[in-house]
Structure 1
């Protein structure tokens, strides 16, 4: 097999990064870990009445129920994450189609090359604005580069995603009115723009509509109830009334599984952790594809490591 070398390798989680993933998870779960530790200490000190101990069959039934609900919730969370990734893939494809369609319908005259460049820069500004608005977060240097790009387009730095979309439609209209493109070219450009708008709407839907709060609360309470009863059951099971380390680890694994589903459910986290999508890397790919590396955005260092997306 020949290794071309220039294209790199598909992102993968390396074994030495497993500890980093666990650290990211534990950092987010710090309150849950403290609560679990407090409960274990209270049970071992007999501060919780022994009459709360449930029958072994009840604990097993609760364990099965918690497993089913956590599994269903995590399946839905991964589905949301994957749908968001597919929609961002559509944004990449639409951006490339935008560049190809402009190149196909605009002539090589100097004024048309200027219009083409302007519309490519607008698409790049639009995808970065989408990145910022989905996460409600930006790196300071990237935000400044975005401002410089908008300055070059003579657009306000405060332009929203919707305003940039409207500006794109107005410039397409101006191209047709000035006869730089014909009616067919205008229709094709609007089809590409509409496909981009559809993908943006899907991403905004995922961001603004999480799983129902009632379901989230139920799964979390069920997990904690099972954990509490399991610790009490282990406490009274052995010859000495103490919780074995294995019992605490089992409860911790259930809590981790439940929390992972909650974190993956929101794929637009600001911290760029392994729970979120690589938005900066995707936007940098679009910047390179459309502007051939001339955009200042591409100077930003990005990571291909799925454990550290940014």
Structure 2
């Protein structure tokens, strides 16, 4: 996720460097054509004006829809943070009032599974598994079970439910406590499903392609509309307009995929570490990992 720190211009121009190169080549060709072959050729300015207005409306709508996907992803992960804290809070409180004293190891097992689930969910969405974040929270048997499952976060939720069932079976929680904790696990499962829906639902590719082609068409006809009324100053103007249009388009393309490990990504690693720290502190663990910080302009 991009931070409020100064975003370097190299990042902004880096994401549109290919488009900038094409525009620069076209401007050189147009300069040669205009000055050496057909200096009087032009088109009415209304043509690029109408095209530019249409592109502005389409880009605005597309960016709005892309931001909606990004914001939904952030809302879902906010719910994951809340429900993870709620699950551990329920676990700590319900077992504390049970008739049968609950060994701390039983509580720690569920907390460890929840921490591993948060990290693995984010990594599976990015399709980049990094065991160093979660493997210390699982025993060998749990790791072996994970190896044969395609949807590893889903298996971890199953393990959590199994542990809750064992707590009920051992009279460490009562029936109502089990129902409440199962409901919290179900909410976590719903959030996981929402993340998978966003990840696997492709933003319409034909729409993206149409916008891209229209921007190039606009840049192509714009100098012919300005040729009669402007001199050399139209070249930096057209170049600036092209940069703005392509930059807005690229930002929209990044926002529409919030789980692709880009600068505008949902900060799932950072959020998972926040959950990890919170639930460890709630259960009085001694070793608390440091929060994830960033020295750059974005955080994962």
Whether contact under 8 Å (1:105, 1:185) holds in the other structure is yes
Give the equivalent residue in structure 1 for 2:57: 68
Matched, 1:302 2:263: no
Matched, 1:33 2:24: no
**Cα distance, 1:295–1:28 mapped onto 2, change above 3 Å:** farther
Matched, 1:179 2:171: yes
Q: Using the alignment, how far apart are the partners of 2:143 and 2:288 within structure 1?
A: 18
Correspondent of 1:145 among 133, 136, 157: 133
Matches within 5 A, 1:215-226: 215-226=207-218
TM-score, length-scaled by structure 2: 0.86
Give the equivalent residue in structure 1 for 2:32: 45
Aligned-residue offset at 1:137: 2.5
Give the equivalent residue in structure 1 for 2:110: 119
Whether contact under 8 Å (1:284, 1:297) holds in the other structure is no
Q: Using the alignment, how far apart are the partners of 2:166 and 2:112 within structure 1?
A: 17
Give the equivalent residue in structure 2 for 1:3: none
Correspondent of 1:201 among 178, 193, 197: 193
**Cα distance, 1:257–1:296 mapped onto 2, change above 3 Å:** farther
Q: Using the alignment, how far apart are the partners of 1:239 and 1:302 within structure 2?
A: 50
Q: Using the alignment, how far apart are the partners of 2:288 and 2:256 within structure 1?
A: 28
In structure 1, stretches of 5+ residues that fail to align are: 1-10
TM-score, length-scaled by structure 1: 0.83
Q: Using the alignment, how far apart are the partners of 1:52 and 1:117 within structure 2?
A: 77
Whether contact under 8 Å (1:172, 1:186) holds in the other structure is yes
Aligned-residue offset at 1:171: 1.6
Q: Using the alignment, how far apart are the partners of 1:308 and 1:300 within structure 2?
A: 15
RMSD: 2.8
Q: Using the alignment, how far apart are the partners of 1:203 and 1:107 within structure 2?
A: 33
Q: Using the alignment, how far apart are the partners of 2:96 and 2:141 within structure 1?
A: 21
Aligned-residue offset at 1:153: 7.4
Output one character per residue of 1:127-150: Cα deviation in whole Å (capped at 9) or x when no partner: 100110111235xxx532322222
Matches within 5 A, 1:248-259: 248-259=239-250
Aligned-residue offset at 1:110: 6.5
In structure 2, stretches of 5+ residues that fail to align are: none
Aligned-residue offset at 1:297: 7.8
Matched, 1:168 2:160: yes
Output one character per residue of 1:216-251: Cα deviation in whole Å (capped at 9) or x when no partner: 1111111221122113333454357x8421121112
Whether contact under 8 Å (1:136, 1:270) holds in the other structure is no
RCO comparison, higher one (Cα < 8 Å, 6+):
2
Partner SS state of residue 260, structure 2? coil
Output one character per residue of 1:76-115: Cα deviation in whole Å (capped at 9) or x when no partner: 1111111111111000000010011101211377743211
